[in-house]
């Protein structure tokens, strides 16, 4: 019997966020799978990503949760088109004064910028596809 263990990665610094970015590289999502809960200061991103652990090229459904998000700005993302497919190319971070700008970089020059004073990001696998 083969046991499948699902991963959970918590990032609280730039190095941890770079690891999550590597795991999420080339993953896909759609506009309907992106949610910003302003009252709770949480940004949720559901992803279908490739497994880096095996050579079977299996897909994994994961959720990337960003906490303590003060503001979100999207560029070139039609938020009314819920079926719009997005390919995540990577996650970039810049620190300006006391605030972090976390940039979710998508294909076709689309991006979403998250503003936060601290880095608190969780990548959790839900199931293999």
pLDDT digits (tens, 9 = 90+) for 62-71: 999 999 999 9
pLDDT in the model for residue 5: 58
pLDDT reported for residue 1: 45
> Cβ distance 43 to 72 under 8 Å?
yes
- Give pLDDT, residue 114: 97
Q: How far is CA 63 from each of CA 20, 32, 41, rounded to the nearest angstrom?
A: 11, 13, 16
In a domain, 52, yes or no: yes
Q: Are 72 and 115 in contact (CB under 8 A)?
A: yes
Q: Within a domain: residue 3?
A: no
pLDDT digits (tens, 9 = 90+) for 39-63: 999 999 999 998 866 666 788 899 9
Domain span including residue 57: 8-128
Domain contains 1: no
Which value, in Å, is the radius of gyration of the alpha carbons in the chain? 14
Comparing 3 with 56, which gets the higher pLDDT? 56
Q: Is the pLDDT of residue 14 over 80?
A: yes
Q: What pairing do the DSSP bridges indicate for beta strands 69-75 and 59-67?
A: unpaired
Could you give the C-alpha distances from 112 to 65, 86, 103, in angstroms and in order? Answer: 14, 11, 6
Residue 92 lies in a domain: yes
Number of independent structural domains in the chain: 1
Token pair 């080339």 is found at 26
* Residue 53 located in a structural domain: yes
Tell if the pTM clears 0.85, that is, is over it. Answer: yes
21: Cα separation from own chain's centroid: 8
Residue 32, domain member (yes or no) = yes
- pLDDT-derived band at 4 (thresholds 50, 70, 90) equals low
Mean pLDDT of all residues in 111-115: 97
């Amino acid at each position: 019997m083969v046991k499948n263990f699902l991963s959970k990665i918590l990032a609280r610094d730039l190095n941890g966020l770079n690891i999550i970015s590597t795991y999420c590289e080339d993953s896909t999502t759609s506009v309907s799978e992106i949610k910003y809960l302003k009252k709770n200061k949480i940004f949720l991103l559901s992803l279908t990503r490739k497994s880096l652990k095996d050579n079977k090229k299996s897909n994994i459904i994961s959720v990337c949760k960003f906490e303590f998000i003060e503001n979100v700005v999207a560029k070139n993302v039609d938020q009314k088109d819920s079926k719009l497919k997005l390919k995540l190319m990577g996650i970039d971070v810049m620190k300006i004064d006391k605030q972090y700008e976390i940039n979710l970089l998508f294909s076709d020059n689309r991006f979403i910028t998250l503003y936060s004073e601290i880095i608190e990001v969780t990548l959790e696998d839900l199931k293999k596809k």
